[in-house]
Structure 1
Amino acid sequence: MNLMPPSTDPNGPLFHKGWYHLFYQYNPDSAVWGNITWGHAVSKDLIHWLYLPFAMVPDHWYDINGVWTGSATSLPDGQIVMLYTGDTYDVVQVQCLAYPANLSDPLLLDWVKYSGNPVLVPPPGIGAKDFRDPTTAWLSPDGDKWRITIGSKVNTTGISLVYETVDFKTYDMLDGYMHAVPGTGMWECVDFYPVSMSEVNGLDTSVSGSGVKHVLKASLDDDKNDYYALGVYDPIENKWIPDDPNLDVGIGLRYDYGKYYASKTFYDQKKQRRILWGWIRETDSEYADILKGWASVQSIPRAVTFDQKTGSNILQWPVSEVEELRSDIVEFDNVKLGPGSLVPLKVDTPSQLDIVASFEIDEDAFEGTVEAEADAGYSCPTSGGAANRGTLGPFGVIILGDKTLSEGTSIYFYVTKGANGKFETHFCADELRSSLAPDVDKVVYGSKVPILHGEKYSLRSLVDHSIVESFAQGGRTVITSRVYPTRAVDGAARVYLFNNATKVSVTASVKLWNMGSADIRTFPLNEL
């Protein structure tokens, strides 16, 4: 969900912009940031975009306070239905229906709101402000009805309500909840979709049965993070059961351990893949955003698959179209990094890069490793960042650094020996020295990442002026960093390899591509 596109800000992202995509944005003509409307854009390749006129604006009593998050469903007869949350005059969250005015229009420029809106209101026991964000619909077991789920809460328990419909105008709420997790608070932007356990392609939302896991995801309003879990869906009982109760929705795995929220997937029928969108918020002050004239951007779209190697998580990876922006590759092979090493890498456009790096530690280094580091339990957010040294880390890359490293964002691995005697790897992004600006959040993000026997430590980072999206081990763990360097800008930025471990040497191999900017401009409507 884009809010406002970067324009003339030299430190703004240039290839993080954002087929056909609806997004919500704030209308600057109302209040400070104004009411939410639905903008829309079109692209043939997910990289080059044309802005289209507003798709929907708050102009009825049932959505006058905002046209909020919604989802589209493509029906077998070619019709498209859009369900979205409206915020009413009296601040009640309701679900509304809209259709394209002209299905023969490939741009779907005009949308018509159903005259009978709203089609759903909060049921008994659900708060007026706790009923929002309908999902894409999937078929019921007998194939004659459609189901959607909507996020909500009861006291502090996050829940997903499920409704059935034939025509998307009238609905029956199914008994109970599809799933509920105590203590997780309000679930918004709920998403629910299947992933194949044996294939690398994505699946249509209605696919179910053997060989399929279902992902249930919720954006937790309390902490503004996106959590997901893998599980099994029983469509007859309308129940979803997590594979691991300790990794349930809201208490376990996250899509992204950085600044990433309100995400949504869709199924790409043409290339048979599931694509994930996410919203990258700002971490500077609201005053700075007003001066810029824009705030927040869309993440690079990611393809989502089941991790067949671990069987316990999904993989997220930038869509292949991103590689069309690459040029001028530079490679550094078998770079030896002794304890305390810092090695600069010469690149032409260090503020717009696609970096792929791998690291190896000598197997002998694991023998006799002290356990004291793990006794207290290592955690990226509380670790103190890349400056704190241990026997087996940290090691990785520093991007958007200046010549003296007064600024720099470190993306790194840190290996510890757990209390159970097993080694654990943490993937972290250290923003503590990312900017000299005083009004910027500077934190350390990250989490554990599974490393299987024989695997190198691998990362990919998309660097885009003030945004870094980093993927460890093929996308098992992902971190989005929103940083605002003041000195490490454009040609003044630097890239470094580092090994801050105290005992071991690391061998690194790196490929760096310069990245072009995504093309995004207003559609020439006068040519229609």
Structure 2
Amino acid sequence: MGQNVKHVLKVSLDMTRYEYYTMGTYNKKKDKYFPDEGLVDGWAGLRLDYENFYASKTFFDPSTNRRILWGWANESDAVQQDTNKGWAGILLIPRKVWLDPSGKQLLQWPVVELEKLRGHNVQLSNQKLNQGDHVQVKGITVAQADVDVTFSFPSLDKAEPFDPKWAKLDALDVCAQKGSKAPGGLGPFRLLILASENLEEFTPIFFKVFKAADKHKVLLCSDARSLKQYLLLLCSHLLNYLNILLVIALSFQIDHSVVESFGAGGRIAISSRVYPTIAVSEKAHLYVFNNGNETIIVENLNAWSMNLLVMNVPIKDRVWENPRNYKEIIKKM
């Protein structure tokens, strides 16, 4: 509690399996929460993640003065497939959560400890992509990777007009309308992840830039329809399109059936489940692609193979299994 404290009320809805939140103030005496003025307290409001993210929990880490968020991703394939696997659902990577300087939303980014899992690194820099160009990123295990990429473009002149009607739509619908394959002005430029060698399968994460009345806006989408599997379209919300200059940065993590994307400095997070049948393990590839007639520059792309976690390490000394040995336990603490 305090004058400079901001509170967050979050809800996980079983009907949608999404999480919504508002910024506001909690009155301890009245035991009541008051959303900040202008924020939507409902299904059209802010979301922690714009797709497969549910039932999250947080804890405060006092050693680093940060709050850590853990989310859950449900399956997106058929129930029978889950039954055959013998399990369903998976924890996503932990994220640091902090307050945007505007005080109007939360920011989140993968915890820095994930960098300890980074293995072999490959890079691209100053790679120009004209319309129709695509470049493969080689040298990493794409099925389990960590990628940071920054795109730039020489001009915003070719950005297409922004239709004011889109502001009233769910961005899912706009992503579906525009798609990643249709040629455009400034975009779509995209990353093709978990892609097969001949591009029969791929998951595109793509950007498209529009010119509105007073500023430029960018739409960030991830579209898994190319995988021939059921998966909802994923994208950022339209209420607060990302404001841009001439640079767009994105970070994403790939873990076989999970793709987590982070953009706009942590303002947008999109987690998805994908189930490739061809682009599996060493047969998974990564490409950068431009479908717009404005030249795109991959300023920097850093990609790492991610090492396996060290889990379930055998315990040699199991003295604590016997309650009578509590004195020995205390000595070891």
* TM-score, with length taken from structure 1: 0.56
Greater mean alpha carbon deviation, residues 208-217 or residues 231-240: 231-240
Q: Give the direction of change, closer, same or farther, for the CA distance of 1:242–1:388 in structure 2 (3 Å limit).
A: farther
In the alignment, the residues of structure 2 paired with residue 525 and residue 245 of structure 1 have an alpha-carbon distance, to the nearest angstrom, of: 57
- Residue 145 (structure 2) pairs with residue 356 (structure 1): no
Q: CA deviation at 1:349?
A: 1.0
Look up the match of 1:443: 232
Look up the match of 2:296: 506
In the alignment, the residues of structure 2 paired with residue 341 and residue 404 of structure 1 have an alpha-carbon distance, to the nearest angstrom, of: 15
Look up the match of 1:260: 53
Q: CA deviation at 1:469?
A: 0.6
Among 323, 338, 343, the residue aligned to 2:115: 323
Q: Is the 8 A contact 1:214 1:232 kept in 2?
A: yes
Alignment of 1:71-86 (within 5 A): none
In the alignment, the residues of structure 2 paired with residue 389 and residue 237 of structure 1 have an alpha-carbon distance, to the nearest angstrom, of: 55
SS of equivalent residue, structure 2 residue 275: coil
- Residue 85 (structure 2) pairs with residue 296 (structure 1): no
Look up the match of 1:399: 193
| 2:20 partner amino acid | Y
Q: Is the 8 A contact 2:201 2:276 kept in 1?
A: yes
In the alignment, the residues of structure 2 paired with residue 525 and residue 279 of structure 1 have an alpha-carbon distance, to the nearest angstrom, of: 32
What residue ranges of structure 1 are gaps of 5+ in the alignment? 1-207
| 1:514 partner amino acid | S
Q: CA deviation at 1:386?
A: 1.0
Look up the match of 2:331: none
SS of equivalent residue, structure 1 residue 504: coil
Percent identity of paired positions between Structure 1 and Structure 2: 37
| 2:220 partner amino acid | F
SS of equivalent residue, structure 2 residue 312: strand
Q: Is the 8 A contact 2:99 2:107 kept in 1?
A: yes
Q: CA deviation at 1:412?
A: 1.7
| 2:202 partner amino acid | G
Among 258, 261, 266, the residue aligned to 1:470: 261
Q: Give the direction of change, closer, same or farther, for the CA distance of 1:430–1:348 in structure 2 (3 Å limit).
A: same
Among 203, 223, 234, the residue aligned to 1:409: 203
Look up the match of 1:280: 73
Q: Give the direction of change, closer, same or farther, for the CA distance of 1:379–1:414 in structure 2 (3 Å limit).
A: farther
Look up the match of 1:19: none
Look up the match of 2:98: 305
**Higher helix fraction (1 or 2):** 2
In the alignment, the residues of structure 1 paired with residue 22 and residue 5 of structure 2 have an alpha-carbon distance, to the nearest angstrom, of: 14
Look up the match of 2:280: 489
SS of equivalent residue, structure 1 residue 365: coil
In the alignment, the residues of structure 1 paired with residue 313 and residue 42 of structure 2 have an alpha-carbon distance, to the nearest angstrom, of: 39
In the alignment, the residues of structure 2 paired with residue 232 and residue 319 of structure 1 have an alpha-carbon distance, to the nearest angstrom, of: 27
Deviations, residues 480-521 of structure 1 (Å, cap 9, x unaligned) = 1100111101111110001112x3111112000110011222
In the alignment, the residues of structure 2 paired with residue 244 and residue 334 of structure 1 have an alpha-carbon distance, to the nearest angstrom, of: 44
SS of equivalent residue, structure 1 residue 223: coil
In the alignment, the residues of structure 2 paired with residue 244 and residue 408 of structure 1 have an alpha-carbon distance, to the nearest angstrom, of: 42
What residue ranges of structure 2 are gaps of 5+ in the alignment? 320-333
Deviations, residues 224-269 of structure 1 (Å, cap 9, x unaligned) = 1101111122323333222243432533111111111111111112
In the alignment, the residues of structure 2 paired with residue 426 and residue 370 of structure 1 have an alpha-carbon distance, to the nearest angstrom, of: 12
SS of equivalent residue, structure 2 residue 182: coil
In the alignment, the residues of structure 2 paired with residue 462 and residue 226 of structure 1 have an alpha-carbon distance, to the nearest angstrom, of: 21
What is the number of residues matched between the two proteins? 311
In the alignment, the residues of structure 1 paired with residue 170 and residue 53 of structure 2 have an alpha-carbon distance, to the nearest angstrom, of: 19
- Residue 245 (structure 2) pairs with residue 461 (structure 1): no
Q: CA deviation at 1:524?
A: 3.9
SS of equivalent residue, structure 2 residue 265: coil
Q: CA deviation at 1:455?
A: 6.7
Look up the match of 1:29: none
Look up the match of 1:223: 16
In the alignment, the residues of structure 2 paired with residue 249 and residue 323 of structure 1 have an alpha-carbon distance, to the nearest angstrom, of: 36
Q: Is the 8 A contact 2:140 2:303 kept in 1?
A: no
| 1:313 partner amino acid | Q
SS of equivalent residue, structure 2 residue 47: coil
Look up the match of 1:337: 129
Q: Structure with the greater relative contact order (CA < 8 A, sep ≥ 6): 1 or 2?
A: 2
SS of equivalent residue, structure 2 residue 52: coil
Q: CA deviation at 1:450?
A: 4.9
| 1:410 partner amino acid | P
Among 61, 64, 69, the residue aligned to 1:271: 64
Alignment of 1:122-133 (within 5 A): none
Q: Is the 8 A contact 2:231 2:273 kept in 1?
A: no
* TM-score, with length taken from structure 2: 0.86
In the alignment, the residues of structure 2 paired with residue 243 and residue 341 of structure 1 have an alpha-carbon distance, to the nearest angstrom, of: 46
Among 374, 387, 402, the residue aligned to 2:181: 387
Deviations, residues 176-212 of structure 1 (Å, cap 9, x unaligned) = xxxxxxxxxxxxxxxxxxxxxxxxxxxxxxxx21222
Q: Is the 8 A contact 1:218 1:250 kept in 2?
A: no
Q: Is the 8 A contact 2:50 2:270 kept in 1?
A: yes
Look up the match of 2:324: none
Structure of larger gyration radius: 1
Deviations, residues 104-135 of structure 1 (Å, cap 9, x unaligned) = xxxxxxxxxxxxxxxxxxxxxxxxxxxxxxxx
Q: Is the 8 A contact 1:231 1:241 kept in 2?
A: yes
Q: Is the 8 A contact 1:325 1:517 kept in 2?
A: yes
Q: Give the direction of change, closer, same or farther, for the CA distance of 1:455–1:475 in structure 2 (3 Å limit).
A: farther
